């Protein structure tokens, strides 16, 4: 019987069967959020701690809702605002939280490997909600769920991931998952934002967006960190947008039934033009909806049985 382990640390650790298990479980979880009464007693008496060292209202809210709809007790700890936790090592914070008997700790952290560290030390389950530029497995799983919902399968699809590939945990987790599930992946972005030898990961690098999306089934646009990168890896936002932003003109090169995705929040008019954002091609809000379902599924699979 296929099962998950104690933790969900990255796509790297999952087999295709485990990925399918999560996606299938999320299907029935999605149904719960669509009900009149959006609550099941599955995790009654379980404790979930959201430990966020980087602020992310969106992801935290998604996990909080997932926990509450499963009837868990959810505790939010925003480590940025917490002076006490700040002076402490992650190990010590982890040990102290563990002493309060949580069943699950959801960790977002700026350092790659932080969730692995906690998972090794602590008996409670850990979900990686994003660690540095390393992995963001729940994002990749919700993306896969969203694609499968529209295309029935991931097998045989061509998916383009465009933007700052080097610094994106979303890209890394998605590439890993898509390849495992039999999709073809092309990456696109300024040369300064794509790792050398990226082909060794099993993907193709196509420098021009128009060319990259030729015949693509899915285009995933990555978020530009406006506040961080201005004037460093590319000359200007305007230039980035002109070459690597998606608009109706460039989209002509893709298939008629192409899907446009984005992990959010979108910089309107930078990664995707406003007209495309509001078009039926774009399924960003499906991704958000499915995010709650995927997180419910993971909570159920890790601590619900």
Nearer to its own copies, 39 or 248 (CB): 39
Nearer to its own copies, 11 or 292 (CB): 292
Nearer to its own copies, 13 or 88 (CB): 88
In the chain, DSSP finds a helix count (H) and a strand count (E) of 13, 9
Residue 58 CB, shortest distance to its own copies, in Å, is 6
Count the neighbouring beta carbons within 10 Å of the beta carbon of residue 241.
19
Residues that bind its own copies (CB under 8 A): 33-39, 44-47, 49, 55-58, 61-62, 64-65, 68-69, 73, 75, 77, 79, 81-85, 87-89, 92, 95-101, 226, 264-268, 285-286, 288-289, 291-292
Residue 3 CB, shortest distance to its own copies, in Å, is 18
Close Cβ partners of 97 (under 8 Å, ≥ 6 residues apart): 49, 51, 77, 105
Nearer to its own copies, 34 or 196 (CB): 34
CA–CA dist 146, 284 (Å, integer) = 9
Residue 273 CB, shortest distance to its own copies, in Å, is 15
Nearer to its own copies, 36 or 256 (CB): 36
Rounded to the nearest 5°, which phi and psi values hold at 96?
-65, -40
SS3 content of the chain, % helix, strand, coil (to 5): 45, 15, 40
What letter would DSSP give residue 209? H
CA–CA dist 221, 52 (Å, integer) = 25
Nearer to its own copies, 163 or 291 (CB): 291
Residue 289 CB, shortest distance to its own copies, in Å, is 5
Residue 170 CB, shortest distance to its own copies, in Å, is 14
What letter would DSSP give residue 8? B
Residue 184 CB, shortest distance to its own copies, in Å, is 29
Residue 189 CB, shortest distance to its own copies, in Å, is 21
Q: Give the closest residue to 217 by CA, choosing from 276, 250, 188, 259.
A: 259
CA–CA dist 234, 63 (Å, integer) = 34
Residue 148 CB, shortest distance to its own copies, in Å, is 18
Structure tokens at 47: 């404790």
Close Cβ partners of 213 (under 8 Å, ≥ 6 residues apart): 160, 188, 219, 246, 250, 251, 253, 254, 258
Structure tokens at 62: 């998604």
Helix orientation angle between 57-69 and 284-303, rounded to the nearest 10 degrees: 50
**β-bridge partners, 78:** 52
Nearer to its own copies, 188 or 270 (CB): 270
Nearer to its own copies, 58 or 208 (CB): 58
């Amino acid at each position: 019987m296929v099962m998950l382990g104690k933790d969900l640390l990255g796509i790297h650790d999952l087999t295709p069967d485990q990925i399918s298990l999560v996606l299938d479980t999320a299907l029935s979880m999605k149904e719960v959020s669509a009900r009149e009464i959006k609550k099941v007693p599955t995790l009654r008496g379980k404790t979930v701690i959201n430990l966020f060292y980087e602020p992310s209202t969106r992801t935290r809210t998604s996990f909080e809702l997932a926990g509450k709809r499963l009837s868990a007790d959810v505790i939010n700890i925003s480590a940025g605002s917490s002076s006490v936790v700040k002076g402490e090592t992650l190990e010590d914070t982890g040990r102290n939280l563990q002493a309060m008997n949580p069943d699950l700790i959801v960790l977002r952290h700026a350092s790659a490997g932080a969730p692995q560290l906690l998972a090794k030390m602590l008996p409670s389950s850990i979900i990686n909600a994003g660690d540095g530029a390393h992995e963001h497995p729940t994002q990749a799983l919700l993306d896969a769920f969203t694609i499968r919902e529209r295309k029935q399968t991931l097998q045989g699809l061509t998916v383009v991931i465009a933007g700052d590939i080097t610094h994106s945990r979303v890209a890394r987790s998605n590439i890993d998952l898509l390849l495992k599930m039999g999709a073809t992946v092309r990456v696109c972005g300024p040369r300064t934002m794509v790792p050398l030898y990226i082909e060794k990961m099993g993907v193709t690098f196509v420098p021009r967006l128009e060319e990259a999306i030729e015949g693509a089934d899915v285009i995933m646009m990555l978020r530009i960190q406006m506040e961080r990168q201005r004037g460093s890896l590319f000359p200007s936002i305007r230039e980035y947008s002109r070459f690597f932003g998606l608009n109706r003109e460039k989209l002509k090169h893709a298939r008629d039934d192409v899907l446009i995705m984005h992990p959010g929040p979108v910089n309107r008019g930078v990664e995707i033009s406003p007209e495309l954002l509001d078009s039926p091609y774009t399924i960003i809000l499906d991704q958000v909806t499915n995010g709650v379902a995927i997180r419910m599924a993971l909570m159920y699979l890790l601590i619900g049985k």
